[in-house]
Chain A
Amino acid sequence: MKILVCVKRVPLTGGKMVLTADEQALETKHLGFTISPHEECGVEEAIRLVEAHGGESVVLTLGPAEALEQLRDAMAMGISRAIHLETDGGEFDPEATVAAIADAIAADEAASGPFDLIFLGNESADSGGYQVGLRLARRLGRPCATGLKGVVVEGAQVRCEQESGGGRDVYTLPLPAVVTVLEGLNLPRYPSVPGRMRAKSKPVAATAPDRAASRLERVRLVVPEGKAKQAEVLGTGADAAGAVVDLLEQIGVA
């Protein structure tokens, strides 16, 4: 099998969000980056499928030069090689993203044969557009199932399981196909030290795609006002005792 996984470099968030001065992006000076979690499961699934059926797995990303870090991470897990569509950091809207990825797929397939299966995340962890996988499938003329928690290759078709209302919807798609997956599909492996060493020498094909004009443009980001929890200092040492007693009586525990 020949399998492609498309991944996106996203910031590791979890604390307070700070925007850049132009309100166009998150301030990432103090943030780490990772592969979008849904796509990390896609990477793991591609590796497992190649281990089971043989063949080759390829990881692709559209992103700045720094996104090479995420490609190396995927190759450290076991992906065979990488395609880096290197940008200047400017935003590609979903349609521009699909155009760039589809061109890269066409070039790779012309050189080394068609991909049997293409994995994407159901939605990216940052912009959450919910459409790149389906647009890509439409452009490639291949069937697509989304939001998958189960992917099983059975001969010339793939069985796709999607959680729905407490049960599972099951789709069967003929290969080649495009699938978008969700976190929980599997438990991604942690890259081993030898894996990381091998990843440094695996091939990365880098190109700079043209950016099509955006039709879905981000005007600005806004961080909504949160209800910040503040600590009130009642005093220090023995002088604080009175205030502490008053507070305990106020909240009914004394």
Chain B
Amino acid sequence: MNLVLIQPGDEASLQAITLARSLGGPVHALLIGSDEGASELAVDVVHVARHDGLTGFAPDAWARITTDTADRIGATAIVAAGTERGNDVMARVAARTGQPLAANCTSVDARRSHRADPHPLGRQPVRGGPPALRTGAADGSRRTPWRPIPPAPPARLRTSQPTSMTPISW
């Protein structure tokens, strides 16, 4: 089960859903502060966190809500769009959970593993110059190099399978 943190009005969050789907298993989405656009997300469950103090962006609060939601549903991976806010919250989530974080991945492949416990292998663009690519295994195991995979297309609305929403109150 994978959890996607949705940033309102952000196209990259839809791509994050597609990426989370590629990891396999059910995909849950988390909206914080507002349920706007919840019905259009191509996920199995939408969680909405509401609180009077969540009207603006509060990175520590977002990280705590994301971590608590992931714990509650037993998420094996947490995915968010690599925006400035997304990277901020995800780093806080990684620090809270003590898990590794691969930032700004353009693709993730959970199938290429020679171990019994597969871990995602991500591609990261290297900053500061012409684009080179970096591949990283999130579990420290050495893997065989793999071919580049094109960026995933945005997730589309699935009208045949309506999403369900699980309200969460803090």
Chain A contacts to B: CB under 8 angstroms: 10, 13-17, 19, 23, 26, 36, 93-95, 123-131, 133-135, 137-139, 143, 146-147, 164, 169, 213-224, 226
Q: Contact at B130–A16, with CB atoms within 8 Å?
A: yes
Interface string of B122-162 (1 = CB under 8 A from A): 00111111111111111111110100100000000000000
B102 at the interface (CB under 8 A from A): yes
B74 at the interface (CB under 8 A from A): no
A222 to B59 Cα, complex, angstroms: 33
Cβ–Cβ < 8 Å partners of A164 in chain B: 57, 84
Q: Contact at B103–A217, with CB atoms within 8 Å?
A: no
Q: Contact at B101–A126, with CB atoms within 8 Å?
A: no
Cβ–Cβ < 8 Å partners of A16 in chain B: 130
Instruction: Select the residue from A93, A127, A131, A164 with max chain B CB neighbours within 10 A.
Output: A131
Instruction: Select the residue from B56, B91, B100, B103 with max chain A CB neighbours within 10 A.
Output: B91
Cβ–Cβ < 8 Å partners of B142 in chain A: 217, 219
Known: A130-B101, A143-B60, A146-B84. 9 other contacts (CB 8 A): A17-B130, A128-B125, A131-B91, A133-B91, A138-B96, A164-B57, A216-B136, A217-B140, A219-B142
Main secondary structure of the interface of A (DSSP, over half): loop
Cβ–Cβ < 8 Å partners of B30 in chain A: none
In the complex, the chain B residue whose C-beta lies closest to that of A132 is B91
Q: Contact at B88–A219, with CB atoms within 8 Å?
A: no
Q: Contact at A217–B125, with CB atoms within 8 Å?
A: no
On whether A216 and B100 interact (CB within 8 A), knowing A135-B94, A222-B132, A224-B148, the answer reads: yes
Q: Contact at A223–B132, with CB atoms within 8 Å?
A: yes
Query: A219 contacts which of B91, B104, B126, B145 (Cβ < 8 Å)?
Result: B145
A127 to B135 Cα, complex, angstroms: 11
Interface string of B74-95 (1 = CB under 8 A from A): 0000000000100110111011
Chain B contacts to A: CB under 8 angstroms: 56-57, 59-60, 84, 87-88, 90-92, 94-96, 100-104, 121, 124-143, 145, 148
Smallest CB–CB gap between B99 and chain A, Å?
8
Q: Contact at A14–B129, with CB atoms within 8 Å?
A: yes
Q: Contact at B129–A123, with CB atoms within 8 Å?
A: no
A124 to B134 Cα, complex, angstroms: 14
A244 to B94 Cα, complex, angstroms: 61
Smallest CB–CB gap between B146 and chain A, Å?
8
Q: Contact at B128–A215, with CB atoms within 8 Å?
A: no
Cβ–Cβ < 8 Å partners of B148 in chain A: 222, 224
Cβ–Cβ < 8 Å partners of A134 in chain B: 88, 91-92, 94-95
Smallest CB–CB gap between A53 and chain B, Å?
27
Q: Contact at A226–B127, with CB atoms within 8 Å?
A: no
Q: Contact at A216–B134, with CB atoms within 8 Å?
A: no
Q: Contact at A138–B145, with CB atoms within 8 Å?
A: no
Smallest CB–CB gap between B98 and chain A, Å?
8
